[in-house]
Structure formats: C-alpha cells, structure tokens
C-alpha cells in the first residue's frame, strides 16, 4: 500500500490534483479517527482533519519520499489537534467533560435511531464511555494512547509522529494506561 | 521481585518489551501476590477495552470532496511555476513576449507624438507627414501617430500606425496616394496589430 501511496505522491508533486484525492480517500478515516479522539467534537474534528489534508497538500514538496507518508500525515494531524486544544486551554478540563458527554449523546442517538439489538447498544454505550475516558486524559497521554491503538503503529513510529524519544513514548503509555485503568476497571 | 518491580514489568510485558525470563518472573510474582494479580488484570482489561475502541472511526460523508474543494488556489500558481521550471525555453519566450507586449503597450499609451522612419525630403506639420510632389522616398516608410499625405512617390512599403493616409475628397488623393506606393500598403490602427507589428520587427532583427 505504501508503494501505491508513494506513486500518488509523486503525481501530486507533479501537479496532479486527482492523485491527491486518492490519498485523502485512503487516509480520511485514520486521520479523522486520530483527530476526533484528540478533540472529542465531531464538527471540530472534521474541520481539523480537513485542515490536516490541506496542510499536507500545500507542503507536499517538503515531504521526504524515503519516509513513511502516514507518519508525516499523522504528525500534521496530531499537531493541529494539540494546537487546537492548547488554544482553548482555560476552560479545557470542563470542555473535555462536555465534549465527552456530547460524544455519549451522539452514540446513544445513533443507537436509538437505528433500533439496534440491545447488545450492540450496550457495546456503543461502552465505546462512548471509553471515548469519554480517553478524552479525560491530559493531551500528552491521550495522543500516545490514541496512536497506539490505531493501525498497529509501532512505538518508534509514535515517537516519530509526536517527535518524542522512544523512552518518553513508553513512559507516557505506561502512565496513560495506569490512568485509564483506574477509570475503566469497574466496567 | 518486589511489587514495584512487578508493576514496571507489567507494562513492559504489555508493550511486548519483556524478555521470556522477565515474563516468567512476572508470572511467578502474580501467583503469590493478590494485589499485583488484581492490578495486572485491570491493566489487561484496560488494554482490551482500548483495542476494542480502536476500531476505525469513519470520516463524515463527503469528506474527501470537501477537502478537494477547499484546496488553496495559490497551489495552482505553484503548479504553473513547476511547469515553467520544466519548460525553460517556452517560459523564456513567454516572458519575452509579455515583456515586449507590456513595453509596447506603454509606448502605445505614452508616445503620441508623430514619428516617421525617414525624415529626408519629407515635411512634417503637426501630425501630418507629407511626401512632397517630386520627392521619391527610397525604401520603406513608416509613420506612427500621424497621417500621411503622399504627393510624390514612395519606392517601398508604407505602414501607417495609428493614423490615416490622407484622402483629398476633390482629387481622390487617397487612391492616388496608394498608387504612388510601389510596395505594400498597410494601415495599423488596432492596438494588437500595432503590438504585433512591433514584435515582428523585433523578431526579424
Ligand atoms: Zn506484588
């Protein structure tokens, strides 16, 4: 897959608009996933994810083709998410709570609309609960936890995405895991 | 192994970083320490809940189209620049043409006084250039920003830019004038033709 992506990137660099569409279409869910887990609000997530792709497009010439494109793209996405979180820092904690609840509502709403079997409703409620708990983590733990469970990223790749030494990535995962353990142990 | 070491090892183990020997030591400790055993189970559950929640979320419908519609326009300019870099000769020609055209344009606007390519034997009155009777102009004649009245002869092509060949209603001088030109007669009053004329002149240098 990485090879197909590289082929598309070469074409984008040559000015082929359509090749970028292929890239967006391939990575949209992953980028949206990262951003949504980071900021918690679906509208904001859409906005930031879109901005991430636009940045990638405008800066495509600075992308080194010997490296993994996903690493570069996810880095743009996480940086934009963290910037956004930083900008609204004053009411940050309260905000995270509210966003989390909003996520819960969204899931419950979805479940109600589709008249899903009880098991699935429960599973969705659980998902939304986990989502909310991930959002309650301080951003520096949140980012490693979100990336770790996306797309089988290695810890080294996470380090590259977040521009952190491997040791720091591990420490943050351990810390994040402990924080979540306290919140999720009664599930 | 004490509980503190055991805790650190749990995380290494969950990261896949523990050696076989360390894993064995951990298992031994968990058998004899209920607190660590409980802690490990909670961590394990957290891990499985998180990986369960790691199913990929879907971007909203129409996301790709929205990104494509919002790509910056300036990128297109960069596209042209890339194209220019790839085609230096055409670019040079284009720049040359643009340059010429703009300088020619400003000349068109600024230089409104009459000019004539040959002065010898000709009479210039305000914006009227007269080839007097009995005078023969050898070679091509170009009059710019003025009218031309040929009473004598022009032994070559005549070009009038932004002006007219004088017509005397009484004597059909216009016809007579044209007859007095041995070469081609050309009148250029439209700006593009004018610019083109200058360009052609420059190119045939
Ligand atoms: Zn113990």
- pLDDT for A94 beyond 50: no
At residue B156, the pLDDT reads: 82
How far apart are the C-alpha atoms of B160 and B128, rounded to whole Å?
Answer: 11
Tokens, residue A125: 């409620």
Tokens, residue B201: 């002149």
A140 touches chain B (CB under 8 A): no
- pLDDT for B178 beyond 80: no
- Contact residues, chain A, for B83 at CB < 8 Å: 15
pLDDT averaged over every residue in chain B: 78
Interface probe for B, chosen from A37, A54, A145 (most Cβ of B below 10 Å), is: A54
Residue whose pair of structure tokens reads 């963290």 in the numeric block: A82
CB atoms within 10 A of CB B13: 18
- Tell me how close the Cα of B62 comes to any Cα of chain A, in angstroms: 10
For residue B14, report the distance from its CA to the centre of ligand 1, in Å.
17
Handedness of CA A127, A132, A137, A140 (dihedral sign): positive
How far apart are the C-alpha atoms of A117 and A38, rounded to whole Å?
Answer: 29
B205: pLDDT confidence band, cut at 50, 70 and 90?
very low
Inter-residue contact B53 to A130 (CB < 8 Å): yes
How far apart are the C-alpha atoms of A125 and A118, rounded to whole Å?
Answer: 10
At residue B102, the pLDDT reads: 64
For residue B26, report the distance from its CA to the centre of ligand 1, in Å.
9
Closest among A43, A45, A41, A54 to A78, alpha carbons compared: A45
- Tell me how close the Cα of B97 comes to any Cα of chain A, in angstroms: 25
At residue A168, the pLDDT reads: 96
Q: What is the DSSP string of B32-44?
A: H-HHHHHHHHHHH
Inter-residue contact A75 to A163 (CB < 8 Å): yes
Q: What is the ipTM of this complex?
A: 0.81
Least confident of A117-126, A153-162, B69-78, B157-166: B69-78
- pLDDT for B76 beyond 80: no
pTM of the predicted model over 0.90: no
| Minimum Cα–Cα distance from B78: chain A residue | A15
A58 touches chain B (CB under 8 A): yes
Q: Which residues contact B116 (CB under 8 A, 6 or more apart)?
A: B122, B124, B129, B141, B142, B143, B144, B146
Tokens, residue A29: 């869910």
Average pLDDT over every residue of B127-149? 83
Residue B134 is classified by DSSP as: T
Q: Which residues contact A128 (CB under 8 A, 6 or more apart)?
A: A103, A104, A106, A107, A108
How far apart are the C-alpha atoms of A156 and A170, rounded to whole Å?
Answer: 10
CB contact under 8 A, B68 and A54: no
CB contact under 8 A, B58 and A155: no
B175: pLDDT confidence band, cut at 50, 70 and 90?
low
| Minimum Cα–Cα distance from A32: chain B residue | B59
CB contact under 8 A, B53 and A131: yes
| Residue % of chain A over a pLDDT of 90 | 62
Q: Put residue B145 in one of left, alpha, beta given phi > 0 → left and psi -120 to 50 → alpha.
A: left
CB contact under 8 A, B11 and A173: yes
Nearest residue, CB atoms, A181 vs list B42, B64, B68: B42
More confident residue, B148 or B179: B148
Nearest residue, CB atoms, A50 vs list B42, B46, B67: B67
Tokens, residue A45: 């997530």
Average pLDDT over every residue of B152-157? 82
- Tell me how close the Cα of B102 comes to any Cα of chain A, in angstroms: 29
pLDDT tens digits for A24-52?
999 999 999 999 999 999 999 999 999 99
How far apart are the C-alpha atoms of A38 and A134, rounded to whole Å?
Answer: 8
Q: Which residues contact B198 (CB under 8 A, 6 or more apart)?
A: B100, B104, B107
Residue B127 is classified by DSSP as: T
Cα B196 to chain centroid distance, Å, stands at 22
- Contact residues, chain A, for B52 at CB < 8 Å: 126-127, 130
Average pLDDT over every residue of A144-149? 92
Interface probe for B, chosen from A184, A186, A187 (most Cβ of B below 10 Å), is: A184
| Residue % of chain B over a pLDDT of 90 | 28
More confident residue, A43 or B117: A43
Kindly report the length of chain A: 187
Inter-residue contact A6 to B46 (CB < 8 Å): no
B171: pLDDT confidence band, cut at 50, 70 and 90?
very low
How far apart are the C-alpha atoms of A111 and B72, rounded to whole Å?
Answer: 38
More confident residue, B70 or B139: B70
Interface probe for A, chosen from B37, B40, B41, B46 (most Cβ of A below 10 Å), is: B46
| Minimum Cα–Cα distance from B51: chain A residue | A149
More confident residue, B178 or A45: A45
Inter-residue contact B159 to B178 (CB < 8 Å): no
- pLDDT for A173 beyond 80: yes
Per domain, the residue ranges of chain A are: 1-87
More confident residue, B149 or B36: B36
For residue B1, report the distance from its CA to the centre of ligand 1, in Å.
8
At residue B75, the pLDDT reads: 46
Average pLDDT over every residue of B98-110? 62
At residue A25, the pLDDT reads: 94
At residue A185, the pLDDT reads: 87
Pick the CATH number of A1-87 from 1.10.1740.10, 3.40.50.720, 3.40.50.1820, 3.40.50.300: 1.10.1740.10
């Amino acid at each position: 897959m990485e090879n197909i992506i590289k082929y598309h990137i070469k074409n984008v660099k040559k000015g082929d608009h359509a090749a970028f569409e292929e890239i967006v279409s391939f990575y949209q869910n992953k980028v949206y996933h990262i951003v949504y887990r980071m900021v918690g609000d679906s509208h904001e997530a859409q906005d930031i994810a879109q901005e991430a792709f636009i940045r990638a497009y405008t800066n495509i010439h600075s992308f080194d083709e010997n490296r993994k494109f996903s690493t570069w793209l996810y880095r743009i996405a996480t940086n934009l998410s963290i910037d956004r979180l930083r900008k609204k820092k004053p009411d940050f904690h309260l905000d995270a709570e509210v966003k989390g609840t909003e996520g819960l509502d969204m899931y419950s709403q979805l479940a109600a609309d589709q008249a899903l079997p009880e098991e699935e409703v429960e599973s969705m409620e659980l998902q939304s609960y986990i989502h909310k708990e991930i959002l309650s983590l301080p951003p520096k733990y949140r980012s490693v936890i979100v990336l770790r469970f996306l797309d089988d990223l290695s810890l080294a790749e996470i380090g590259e995405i977040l521009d952190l030494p491997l040791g720091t990535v591990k420490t943050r995962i351990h810390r994040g895991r402990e924080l979540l353990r306290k919140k999720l142990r009664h599930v | 192994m004490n509980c503190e070491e055991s805790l650190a090892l749990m995380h290494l183990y969950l990261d896949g970083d523990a050696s076989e020997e360390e894993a064995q030591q951990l298992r031994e400790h968990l058998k004899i320490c209920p607190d660590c055993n409980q802690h490990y189970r909670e961590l394990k559950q957290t891990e499985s809940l998180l990986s369960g929640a790691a199913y990929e979320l879907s971007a909203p419908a129409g996301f790709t189209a929205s990104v494509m519609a919002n790509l910056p326009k300036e990128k297109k300019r960069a596209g042209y620049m890339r194209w220019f870099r790839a085609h230096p000769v055409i670019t040079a020609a284009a720049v040359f043409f643009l340059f010429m055209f703009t300088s020619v344009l400003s000349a068109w606007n600024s230089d409104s006084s009459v000019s004539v390519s040959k002065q010898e034997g000709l009479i210039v009155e305000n914006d009227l250039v007269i080839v007097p009777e009995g005078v023969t102009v050898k070679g091509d004649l170009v009059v710019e920003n003025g009218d031309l009245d040929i009473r004598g002869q022009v032994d070559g092509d005549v070009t009038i830019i932004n002006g007219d060949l004088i017509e005397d209603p009484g004597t059909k001088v216009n016809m007579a004038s044209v007859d007095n030109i041995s070469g081609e007669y050309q009148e250029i009053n439209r700006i593009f033709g004018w610019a083109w004329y200058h360009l052609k002149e420059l190119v045939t240098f």
